[in-house]
Amino acid sequence: MHTSETELMLKGYGLTTAELYYRMPDYRNVLNSFVWQDYDLAPDYPQLFGFIEFWQAKIEGPLHSVRFTHRKLIAPGEWRNVVGEFRLH
């Protein structure tokens, strides 16, 4: 079942962006970068580490380094459920 982005954010997920630097298989002196982005849970980052494990198992270019940042887009104090309506006139 697919979970919407809003549902993920309300469950505590934040947007994680990672920049992976890797070496070309045939040209070891060349570094390339790949940008990956997904919703993930801090501080364990299961999605990010799962992607890194996938990379190491399936992609030929060995990783040089990984830089990432994580940002919660909706914090618990910023959202509240409003059940009511006020009408003027």
Predicted confidence at residue 67, as pLDDT, reads 95
Q: How do residues 29-47 score in pLDDT, each as one tens digit?
A: 999 999 999 999 999 999 9
What torsion, rounded to 10 degrees, do the Cα atoms 13, 19, 20, 23 define?
Answer: 170
Among residues 43, 44, 40, 20, the alpha carbon closest in space to that of 32 is found at: 20
Strands 31-40 and 63-71 come out as unpaired
Give dist(CA 77, CA 61) in Å, integer.
Answer: 43
Give dist(CA 25, CA 74) in Å, integer.
Answer: 40
Predicted confidence at residue 68, as pLDDT, reads 95
Q: Structure tokens of 42?
A: 């801090």
